Amino acid sequence: MDGLAVLNRLPSRAGEKRCCFATCGSNEETVSHLLWQCSWPKEVWNFVQLWCDLDLAHVLTISDLFSVSHASFKSALHIKITHAVALSTFWAIWKARNDRSFNNKISSPDVVLEDINTISFLWIKNRGNCSFIKWKYLCSFPFVVP
């Protein structure tokens, strides 16, 4: 069975619907809400916006995010790094959601941001054919493209 189908049934078995992060008071958990619209992920995205030097003020959907990065940067490497950071952010938010939902473990946005930084670096360096990338590049604020 599809994972989202099971996820959609979980609240009804428990007799209540609630946001997985329990911070916004929403009674739904859609993918868009979970990864983008909820107040908890928004805290994470606010940092990512500053870290990647992005303007996310007009980004309303997840697909808009990838359009912004193409329009904002001239370097193909900068776009590649920004995409990796965005995907790392989705992954880290999803992991935090699962920890909260299934392990009753609550992660602060700061802990998730550390995960994003580490995951981004490892993905870019090892999977993105960018072996020249150094940890110090991604640890700067905003990050530096060599």
Q: How confident is the model over 86-141, as pLDDT tens digits?
A: 999 999 999 998 898 888 888 899 999 999 999 999 999 998 888 888 888 888 87
pLDDT tens digits along 57-94: 888 877 887 777 566 666 888 888 888 999 999 999 99
CA distances from 32 to 19, 20, 37, 38, 63 (A): 12, 13, 6, 8, 10
Residue-level pLDDT at 25? 65
Residue 2 has pLDDT above 70, yes or no: no
CA-nearest of 45, 31, 22 to 2 is: 31
